Amino acid sequence: MREFKQLTPYREALEMMLNDIKEIEEIEELPLDDALGRVLAEDVISLIDLPPFDRSAVDGYAVRAEDTFQAREYSPVELEVIDEITAGMESKKEVSNGKAVKLMTGNKMPKGANAVIEQEKVKREGNKIYVLRPVAPGQNVAFKGEDVKKGEVVLKKGQILRPQDLGLLKGIGIKRVTVKRRPKVGIIVTGDELIEEPDEEALNEGKILESNSAMLKALIRQYFGESIFYGVIPDDEELIGATLERAKCECDLVLITGGSAFGEKDYAHKFVNLLFHGTTIKPGRPIGYGERIFVMSGYPAAVFAQFHLYVKYALAKLSGANYKPTKVKARLKEKVPSSLGRHEFVKVYYENGEAVPIKKKGSGIMSALVESNAYLEIPEDSEGYKEGEEVWVVLY
């Protein structure tokens, strides 16, 4: 098999690919229930204050703070309870000197009151309360616009919508959002050795069950896209070329697995005008990119690494997402050696501030992916990390 004469450094290849990718312009409007994980196409501006009025932050009694300044457990202050309201109600009484209104968390503050004292900090006898501790003006009060002010940008274009984002939007009265269309990503799996259904005879003859499509479909869904699967294609040059051409016309991005190196039946790269072919990453060195097509390895672990190091950033660029991977600092439980000139993708299990490298090696070892929940990148100019060294790991 012919080897790569020159490998493109990882960061250089990544930059070349991102410079080539153009953001999708198409947008669509969705109800909040369908918007989880979608990318905002425009800033969202609040049309109301949140909260829309001064409200109590606790269950207790709305009072004039000045009336409580002398309150002590040994010398409580007596106040008269002039009204009691439950959730969603508004008191029509004004709190004047020596008065109080019983209310619940979230109730609108009565006129004249400027603080709320918790119900456990008073003694109640009939329509009288005895305040045991003083409160300051504004204590236990959530003021109008304290959370969100009318006219404020609450979410920016490019935000990947999370459950808490949808909750905030619902809270300010927004029912629908404008989002970017999901990038359409074609998946083509190639290889004479692959079968799609379990067949004992075929497996005994050296066939293997295809698994890349299921993994890539899920990854694409996780990272802003929707997939179109073009099936398992045998190592037929004409058929591979025709399938690639069709997928290129129908999709924003195409991933083809298998045939990325220089074997006798490695055809995929022949049909793409590649910006780069062969990079310093390990595993997955034979990856190529051009014309919105990624020519990827056939081995699942290599495909997984190639996706995380390249494809997910392409999908973020296509969808206009303000995406940054979730990184945490971790102390290595074991040393992780590497070779100079390789940008290595190391699978780890992260827990409680520690990262344990997964010892199983090989681009075809899928159980190593299952046992990991994060990865560590070792750049080309490093020979690895020592046991106990603090490193950044990226959570899946």
* pLDDT reported for residue 203: 76
Q: What is the pLDDT of residue 270?
A: 86
pLDDT in tens, the chain (396 residues): 455 678 999 999 999 999 999 999 999 999 999 999 999 999 999 999 999 999 999 999 999 999 999 999 999 999 999 999 999 999 999 999 999 999 999 999 999 999 999 999 999 999 999 999 999 999 999 999 999 999 999 999 999 999 999 999 999 999 999 999 999 999 999 988 887 877 787 777 878 889 999 999 999 999 999 999 999 999 999 999 999 999 999 999 999 999 777 666 778 888 899 999 999 999 999 999 999 999 999 999 999 999 999 999 999 999 999 999 999 999 999 999 999 999 999 999 999 999 999 987 766 788 999 999 999 999 999 999 999 999 999 999
- Measured CA angle at 154 (ends 151, 157), to 5 deg: 110
Number of Cβ atoms within 10 Å of the Cβ of 95 = 24
Give residue 2's pLDDT: 52
Which residue type occupies 189?
A: V
pLDDT at 366: 85
Determine the pLDDT at residue 344: 97
Please give the Cα distance from 341 to 294 (Å, whole number).
22
Nearest CA to 251 out of 202, 306, 318, 308 is that of: 318
The 3-state DSSP composition of the chain as helix, strand, coil percent (nearest 5) reads: 25, 30, 45
Distance CA 76, CA 330 (A): 53
Q: What is the pLDDT of residue 195?
A: 75
Delineate the domains of the chain, giving CATH numbers in brackets.
10-25+182-319 (3.40.980.10), 27-50+151-180 (3.90.105.10), 55-142 (2.170.190.11), 327-395 (2.40.340.10)
Q: Residue 1's pLDDT is what?
A: 44
Contacts with 47 (C-beta within 8 Å, 6 or more apart), sequence order: 150, 172, 173
How is 109-143 classified by DSSP, letter by letter? PPTT--EEEEGGGEEEETTEEEE-S---TTTTEE-
User: What is the structure's pLDDT at 192?
Assistant: 85
List alpha helices for 270-380, DSSP H: 300-306, 312-319, 366-371
The helix/strand/coil state of 72 is strand
Closest listed residue to residue 244, CA positions, set 270, 262, 223, 278: 270
Measured CA to CA, the distance from residue 294 to residue 244 in angstroms comes to 11
